[in-house]
Amino acid sequence: MDAFQGLMSGFQVAFSIEGILFVFIGVFVGTFIGMMPGLGPISAIAIMIPITYSMDPTVALVMMAGVYYGAIFGGSSSSILLNAPGVAGTVATAFDGYPMAQQGKAGKALAIAAIASFTGGTVSVILLMLFTPILSAVAVSFGPAEYFALMFMGLTAISSLSDGSTIKAFISATLGFIVVTIGIDSQTGTSRFTFGNPNLLEGIDFLVIALGLFALAEVSTLVLNRKDNSMSDNKEIGSLRLSKQDVKEMSGPMTRQSFLGFLIGVLPGAGATIASFIAYITEKKLAKNPEEFGKGSIKGLAAPETANNAATGGAFVPLLSLGIPGSGTTAVLLGAFLVLGVQPGPLLIQDRPEVFWGIIASMYIGNIFLLILNLPLIPYIARVLRIPRPLLISLVIIFSLIGVYAISFNTFDLYMLVAFGIIGFLMRMFSFPAAPFILAFILGGMMEQAFRQTLTISNGSLAIFLDKPIALTLIIVSLLTILVPMFTGRKKLSAKNDTGKPL
Amino acid sequence: MKKFLATAAAFTMLIAAGCSNQSSGDGNATGENGEWKPTKPIEITAPAGPGGGWDTTARMASQVFEQEKIIDKRLPVVNKAGGGGAIGWAYIAGKKDSEHNMFVASPPLLLVPLNGQSEYGYEDFTPLANVIADYGAFVVKAEAKWNNLNDLFEDMKKDPASVSVIGTSSPGSMDHMQFVKIAKAAGVDVTKIKYISDPDAGGLTAVLNGSVDVYTTGVAETIEQVKAGKIKVLGITSEERLEGEVLSDFQTAKEQGIDETFVNWRGFFGPPGMDPAAVKYYEEKFKELSDSPAWDEIRKKYGWGELYMDSEEYSEFLKTEAEDMQNLLEELGLSR
C-alpha cells in the first residue's frame, strides 16, 4: 500500500474547508470539555453521534477524534490551576503542575503543558502514520499475564510517589486497593462491599475519587487556611517564557515519553491515565534530583503531559487497525464509526483509505490548532487564579459536582464525591499522600482481574508467568527496581558508617 | 447554522410543551373512544451510560421517531447508569402509572434480578414491544484446531477444563449464559466450564494472541475479523442462517445438530401499571418504526436483526426465557 499517496489523499480531505472547519470545531469543543473538571470526551462524543448522522463520514470522524485528543490537551489546565483534574488522563499533571502554579509560575506551567502535549501528540501521529500495520501485532500481544506484569511494574512506584513517609504511602495505596474492590466482581459476578446498595454495584468511578481527593481536599485546605495570607499572594501568573534551561530539562522526558506513552496507548485497556502515571514514575526514577518531583518539577509536569497525549494517538492503533476499542472513549468512537457506515478493522486501510488517512492527517492539523488555540489563551485561562478566593472555591465545588453528576446522572455519586473529599482532606491533615491511593485504584482493579484471569487459564498454576517472555521480563525488571535500591541504599549507609565513627 | 436554529427552536418548543402541560395537569389523554395520545415529551431511559448498546438503541429509536414524524412529540433520552441497569429500573419503577416514560432493555433485565442484584425484574414493568434481535457467536483463532461446534464440544465433553472461554460480561450474565445454553444442549458438563470475564472488552485480543481459546460475543462484532481471516466463527445461536455478506456463511448451532438457540432481544418497556390504551398506542408506533426504511438502515449499520413482538407476544416470550435462564443459573449455582 502506498502510504505516501494515502497520506496525501488524507491531507486533501483534512485541508478542505470543511475538513479544517470541523477539525477546529472538534478540538475546540474538546479543549473546552477537557477544561471542565469531570466532563469528559465520552459523553461529548456520544451526544454528537446523532448530530453527525447526515455528515460526510470522514469529516464527522475527524471532528470526533478532535474532541477526544482535544480533551486530553485541555484537561491539563484545570489540573494545573485548580488541582482539579479535567479528565482522568490529567491527574498526574496536577502532581507538579499545581505546585508550580502555587509558586506563581502558572503561565510557565501551562506553556510547558501545551508544548509537551503538542510534542506527544505530534510524535504519536507520526508513529501512527508509519507503524500502524506493524503495531497492530503489538496491540494484541498482551494477554492477561502480560497485563498483570505491566500493572505490577507500575505498582513498584508506590514508594516513589511519596515525598515523606514510605509507610504512609503504602497505607494510602492499601486504601486505594480496598476501594477498588467495591462492586460486582467481574470473575464471579458476586458483589463485594456493596452492603446491598445497588448504587455501589458498578464500583466507584475514578473521577469521583480523583475530584474528591484532589479538588475538594484542596478546597477544604484553602478554606481552613483562609487567614493565611502567604498563600493568597500567589496570584501571579508569571511569564510564559521558557528559559534555555527549562527547554533543556523538558526535552529528555518529552522525547522518551512520546514513545513510551504511545506504546502504552497502543495496548488496549491501558490508555492515557496509566501512560501518564508510568511516565511520571519513570522520569522520577531517571532524574538526577528526584526530590524535586511533586514540588513543581518541570520534568514531572512535562512527562505525564507528553505521555497522555501520545497515548491518545496510540489508542487509535487498535481502534483503526483491529476494530478493538482500548478505552471507554474509543469504544464510543467505535460506535460512531459504525453509525457513519465505516467499519474499523484490518481492512479499513484498503476499504476506506480516505477515512484512515484523513483522520491521521487531521490529527497533525488538530495538534497545531490546539497549540495555537492554547498558547495565546494562557494569560486568559490563568486569570482564573485572580478570581477572588471565595468565589473560586465555590466555582471549583460547583464544577466538581456538575462533572460527577454528568458521569451517571445519579445523586448518589455526589455523596460519594463529598465523602472522598473528606477522606482526602483528612489524608492531607495527617500528611498521607493521595497519589499512591489513586495509583493503586487505577492499577489495582486491572491487576487483580488480570491475575485471576491468568490463574483461571492456567488452572491455578503460577508457572504460567515463566512461560510468557514479555510478562517474565516485566516482572524481573520490577523486582530489580525494588531490590537494587535496597542494596545500594545499604551500601551507601555502610559507606557513611565507615567515614563516621566506628560502630 | 440552520441545524442549530432548528435544534434551538425544537428546544424552545419542548420547554413550552412542558410548561403548557403542567398547567393542564398530568395529561392523561385517554379519549372517549379509548384512544390514547401523548400530551408531552416522552422520556426514554437508557439504564446505562452514554455509548453502550442500550444508549445507542434508545438514541436511534428517539431519532427515527422524531425525524420520520412517527410520534409528533419530542423523545429525549435520559441516561441512568449504575448497578448493571438496577439504578435505571428503580427509577422507572418510581414512575408508576406514567404514560410518558419508557426504557430500553435486553436479557440483563432477566439475568441481573436472577443474580440477586436488582429488586425489580421484568415482571415489574409493562412490555411495550420488542424491536431488535442480536445473536451470539462463538469465535476461535483462525489457526485453531476446531472447525465447528461439534469439534469443540467433543473436546469439552472429555475435559471441560481444557478449554478456556472469554466474554465481556461477568459469569451468570449474557455472554456466559449464551455459551452455557448451547454447550449444555450439546452435552457438556456446564458446571465445569472455564469462563473468564473481561469487562474492558479484551476478549477478542485474548483469542487473537492465544491466551484464551474461545470468545463468546455478538455476531456483528466478528464480521471484520472474519473477513480479514484472523478468526473463525464456529457457530451462532440463531434459529436460521442470517442474511448478509459473511453473515450468511456462519453455521447455526441448530444445523450442526445442537437443538438450542439464544436470542439477545432488545425492546422497550413502560413503568408498572401503564394504561392499556397507551400500551396499544406504543405497540403500533413501534411497529411503524420497525417497518420504516430509516430504521432498516440503522439496523444494517449496527448489524442488528429484526424481531418485532407486540406487548402480548413479548410477555409470553419473556416468561419462557426467564424460566430457561432460571434453570440454567440454578444448575450453575449462580442463582440467588
pLDDT along chain A (503 residues), means of 10: 74 86 92 81 80 84 92 88 85 91 89 93 92 80 88 78 78 93 86 87 87 89 74 61 85 92 86 88 85 88 94 90 81 83 83 88 92 86 82 87 82 93 93 88 88 91 89 89 71 51 41
A341, closest residue in chain B (CA to CA)? B301
What's the distance, CA B191 to chain centroid?
Answer: 26
A-facing residues of B in 290-309 (CB < 8 A) are 298, 301-302
How far A368 CA sits from the closest chain B CA (Å)? 26
Residue A39 and residue A406: Cα distance in Å, rounded?
A: 7
Q: pLDDT (tens digit, 9 = 90+) per residue, B17-39?
A: 444 343 333 445 555 567 899 99
Is it true that B43-134+264-332 and B135-263 share their CATH fold? yes
Residue B309 and residue B317: Cα distance in Å, rounded?
A: 9
Q: pLDDT (tens digit, 9 = 90+) per residue, B33-89?
A: 678 999 999 999 999 877 678 988 998 999 999 999 999 999 998 888 877 888 899
* Cβ <8 Å between A408 and B79: yes
Which three three-digit cell numbers place residue A254? Answer: 518529552
How far B11 CA sits from the closest chain A CA (Å)? 15
User: pLDDT at position B30, please?
Assistant: 54
How far B276 CA sits from the closest chain A CA (Å)? 30
Which runs of E-coded beta strand occur in A356-498?
Answer: none
CATH class of B135-263: alpha beta
A-facing residues of B in 2-61 (CB < 8 A) are 3, 49-51, 55-56, 59-60
ipTM computed for the complex:
0.76
* Cβ <8 Å between B302 and A338: yes
What are residue B266's DSSP bridge partners?
A: B132
Which residues have CB under 8 Å from A260's CB, separation 6+? A275, A278, A279, A282, A307, A310
How far B164 CA sits from the closest chain A CA (Å)? 6
Of B60, B82, B230, the CB nearest to A410: B82
Residue type, A394: S
Within 8 A of B60 by CB-CB distance, chain A residues are 50
Within 8 A of A188 by CB-CB distance, chain B residues are 170-171
Within 8 A of A50 by CB-CB distance, chain B residues are 59-60, 63
* Cβ <8 Å between B49 and A446: no
Tracing cell 505498582 back to the chain, one arrives at A155
Query: What is the gyration radius of the CA atoms in chain A, in angstroms?
Result: 23
Within 8 A of B79 by CB-CB distance, chain A residues are 408-409
Which residues have CB under 8 Å from B73's CB, separation 6+? B17, B38, B39, B40, B41, B42
User: pLDDT at position B6, please?
Assistant: 44
* Cβ <8 Å between A347 and B55: no
How far A191 CA sits from the closest chain B CA (Å)? 8
* Cβ <8 Å between B170 and A187: yes
* Cβ <8 Å between B164 and A457: yes
Residue A384 and residue A373: Cα distance in Å, rounded?
A: 17
Residue B172 and residue A355: Cα distance in Å, rounded?
A: 39
Most B CBs within 10 A among A333, A347, A404, A409, hence the mutation to make, goes to A409
Which three three-digit cell numbers place residue A279? Answer: 511516565
Within 8 A of B63 by CB-CB distance, chain A residues are 50, 53
Which three three-digit cell numbers place residue A145? Answer: 499475564
Residue A74 and residue A93: Cα distance in Å, rounded?
A: 11
CATH class of B43-134+264-332: alpha beta
pTM: 0.81
Whether B141 shows a pLDDT value over 50: the answer reads: yes
Query: Taking all residues of chain B, what is their mean pLDDT, rounded to a whole number?
Result: 86
How far A309 CA sits from the closest chain B CA (Å)? 21
* Cβ <8 Å between A198 and B224: no
* Cβ <8 Å between A184 and B84: yes
A-facing residues of B in 183-202 (CB < 8 A) are 194, 196-202
Of B82, B196, B223, the CB nearest to A201: B82
* Cβ <8 Å between B117 and A323: no
* Cβ <8 Å between A324 and B201: yes
* Cβ <8 Å between A338 and B301: yes
Each domain of chain B, given as residue ranges in start order, spans: 43-134+264-332, 135-263
Within 8 A of B224 by CB-CB distance, chain A residues are 323, 343-347
User: pLDDT at position B14, please?
Assistant: 41
* Cβ <8 Å between A457 and B211: yes
Please check whether residue B205 touches A, CB under 8 A: yes
Q: pLDDT (tens digit, 9 = 90+) per residue, A35-76?
A: 887 677 887 887 787 788 778 888 999 999 999 999 988 888
Residue A164 and residue A175: Cα distance in Å, rounded?
A: 18
Q: A with B: how many residue pairs have Cβ under 8 Å apart?
A: 157
* Cβ <8 Å between B201 and A186: no
Which residues have CB under 8 Å from B56's CB, separation 6+? A49, A335, B302
Whole-Å CA distances, A230 to A94, A225, A272, A387: 21, 10, 35, 17
Of the listed ranges A48-57, B117-126, B127-136, B234-243, the least confidently predicted one is A48-57
How far B180 CA sits from the closest chain A CA (Å)? 15
Using the Cα atoms of residue B316, residue B322, residue B324 and residue B326 in order, give the sign of their dihedral.
Answer: negative
Nearest partner of A140 among B38, B225, B85, B207, judged by Cα: B207
